[in-house]
Amino acid sequence: MATLRENRYGKTGVRLVKVTRAGHVHTIREWTVRVLLEGDFETAHTLGDNTKILPTDTMKNTVYSRAKESTAESMEEFAAELVNFLLARNVQVSAAEVHIEQALWKRMDIDGEPHPHSFLRGSNEVQTATVRQAKTGERTVISGFEDMVVLKTTQSSFEGFIKDELTTLKEASDRLLGTSITASWSYNTQPADYNATREQLRESMLKTFAGHNSKSVQQTLFAMAEDALAVLPHLDEVTLTMPNIHNILVDLKVFGQENTNEIFMPISDPSGYIHARVTR
């Protein structure tokens, strides 16, 4: 006999661009939203009874409708509004989770001045927020970003590692260090401004990455998380994933040339994979 242990369902990939117009100065936000519901949906699975199922198309429409009414300035605030709205209107739902990804749009500088209504798409970095709340429990908020690609051309080494009969990697006292940072963090108290907190944390991590004399990706990862926790006391923990995106020094001796740390061959795969959760 089969037993349904857990289930949830929802709508994903709900794309939304919201334009806020303050006179001739406009602001845009591009969000991709995922809504997930948990609750009393067993009979939908076992009997095909849809009487307790809120259509996922309705969830999509809810995102757009609430976005029109919302005054939220951050993903976290808007996600909390959606969670509260869905819980209040659906007695069969025991918990709701909303995950939002935000694309980076930057205001254009034209003739040295920020343009009031023209924007430039930034890097592939995506900012994230996940809000989950059960009707009988506390709300959890996880903020973050993904795919922040960074590289430094010195102050990075990798030496003293294990060497056995399968080791071909040479020690490097001065190498390129490139990675695509994915970070997430939780809070011990609600910040006054989620957007400002994200910007402070992001800038702290970039400053540490740039200035750290790295003996390994692991050491730099920990230093970045440690400094972020020191700068932002309302954070509870920071989780970082930092793949080591390799740039291989090209051997030019066959051409009668010396390669003094100038010519590299970037490779995307395989790459190292470094992950850690650092708590206060």
CA distance 231 to 214: 20
According to DSSP, residue 192 is labeled S
Specify whether 71 is catalytic: no
**DSSP annotation string for 133-174:** EETTS--EEEEEEEEEEEEESSSB-B-S----TT--PPPBSS
Specify whether 246 is catalytic: yes
**Closest of 177, 171, 164, 154 to residue 244, by C-alpha:** 177
Phi, psi for 155 (deg, rounded to 5): 60, 40
Evaluate whether 76 touches 143 at the Cβ level (below 8 Å): yes
Token digits of residue 68: 């029109």
* Cβ within 8 Å of residue 76, ≥6 positions away: 129, 131, 141, 143, 194
**Closest of 121, 16, 140, 115 to residue 72, by C-alpha:** 16
CA distance 75 to 16: 12
The count of residues in the chain is 280
Specify whether 52 is catalytic: no
Specify the 3-state DSSP secondary structure of 219: helix
Q: How far is CA 273 from CA 9, 162, 206, 224, 244, in A?
A: 31, 17, 19, 16, 6
Q: Out of 11, 60, 99, 212, which one is annotated catalytic?
A: 11
Q: Out of 32, 43, 56, 241, which one is annotated catalytic?
A: 56
Q: Out of 60, 99, 212, 246, which one is annotated catalytic?
A: 246
**Residues labelled catalytic:** 11, 56, 246
